Amino acid sequence: MYKILQNMRKNERYKYITAYFQQAMPNAQTELHFKSPYQLLVAVMLSAQCTDRRVNMTTPALFEAYPTSASLAVATFDQVYDLIRSISYPNSKARHLISMAQMLESDFGGEVPSTLEQLTSLPGVGRKTANVVMSVAFGKTTIAVDTHVFRVSHRIGLVSARCTTPLSVERELTKNIPPQLRHDFHHWLILHGRYVCKAIHPQCEKCGIRQWCQSHKEKA
């Protein structure tokens, strides 16, 4: 097995790992709860350096109070802060949410835009958030690189050590993953990183792709 792994080309690793995930997680989706592109955008903004579980506990009251960007645009800082205070960085996120909603109303007619350039023009919306919204809400073939995707793609050997930034990881994954699989691949890596290939204590004994994993090979 070691010799097989040692001689395995990157395209073969992608092939075997894709086949595994297609069988193990055929319907992988975001774990954030939302009912519209607006709600998804808000949830993803809140999820930065915060768990989806905590976000899902917070957004019901927030969406009840502010069901549209128009209602959020006229909210005060204190009103939004009180609803998201259990989220990480509530001060900056409250300000960004209000400013984002105001710009949606003033520049986009209250509709969440669907392009990278337009989304990243919104306050508090970076490339990762924009890619998630484009993929999940609009079905675009983008790959968002969060901490899980960054960590797992390096560990298992999908990207090279030269990829030291989220953008470089995104570009290498995009180069190697067919467009029709990018939406699923994004969620496969997130869920695998969240529940199996954890940052501190990866559960290699439970990992279904360890036989194709670069890090596991190096430990053998």
Largest CA distance in the chain: 62
Are 132 and 146 in a shared domain?
no
Question: Where among 97, 122, 138 does a domain terminate?
Answer: 138
- Domain assignment present for residue 32? The answer is no
107 is catalytic: no
128 is catalytic: yes
Question: Where among 138, 158, 180 does a domain terminate?
Answer: 138
Single-letter code of the amino acid located at 187: H
Single-letter code of the amino acid located at 31: E
Are the C-beta atoms of residues 93 and 72 closer than 8 Å to each other? no
- Domain assignment present for residue 192? The answer is yes
3-state secondary structure of 59: helix
* Mean pLDDT, residues 81-110 taken together: 97
Q: What is the pLDDT of residues 105-136, one digit of tens each?
A: 999 999 999 999 999 999 999 999 999 999 99
Are 41 and 103 in a shared domain?
yes
Four-point Cα dihedral 46, 50, 54, 57, nearest 10: 0
137 versus 11: which is more confidently predicted?
137
The confidence band for 220, taking pLDDT boundaries of 50, 70 and 90, is low
* Mean pLDDT, residues 17-26 taken together: 95
CA dist., res. 118 & res. 121, Å (int): 5
Are 151 and 198 in a shared domain?
yes
Number of domains in the chain: 2
Q: According to the model, what pLDDT value does residue 9 have? A: 80
Are 105 and 163 in a shared domain?
no
DSSP 8-state code for residue 206: G
Q: What is the pLDDT of residues 159-212, one digit of tens each?
A: 999 999 999 999 999 999 999 999 999 999 999 999 999 999 999 999 999 999
- Structural domain boundaries, residue 153: 2-27+142-219
- Domain assignment present for residue 163? The answer is yes
Choose the catalytic residue: 146, 175, 206, 219. 146
Are 66 and 128 in a shared domain?
yes
| b/e code 137-169 from CB counts within 10 Å (16+ = b) | beebebbbbbebbbbbbbbbbbbeeebeebeeb
Q: According to the model, what pLDDT value does residue 34 have? A: 97
Are the C-beta atoms of residues 13 and 219 closer than 8 Å to each other? no
- pTM score, two decimals? 0.90
- Domain assignment present for residue 214? The answer is yes
**Which tokens is 59 given?**
């957004």
Distances in Å between the alpha carbon of 183 and those of 85, 100, 122, 177?
Answer: 31, 25, 23, 10
Phi, psi of 34 (to 5 degrees): -160, 160
The confidence band for 138, taking pLDDT boundaries of 50, 70 and 90, is very high
- Domain assignment present for residue 206? The answer is yes
Are 94 and 176 in a shared domain?
no
Q: Provide the strand spans (E) within the chain.
A: none
Question: Where among 138, 164, 183 does a domain terminate?
Answer: 138
CA dist., res. 167 & res. 143, Å (int): 10
Choose the catalytic residue: 128, 140, 206, 219. 128
Are 71 and 150 in a shared domain?
no
* Mean pLDDT, residues 63-70 taken together: 98
Q: If you search the block for the tokens 């990866």, which residue do you land on? A: 202
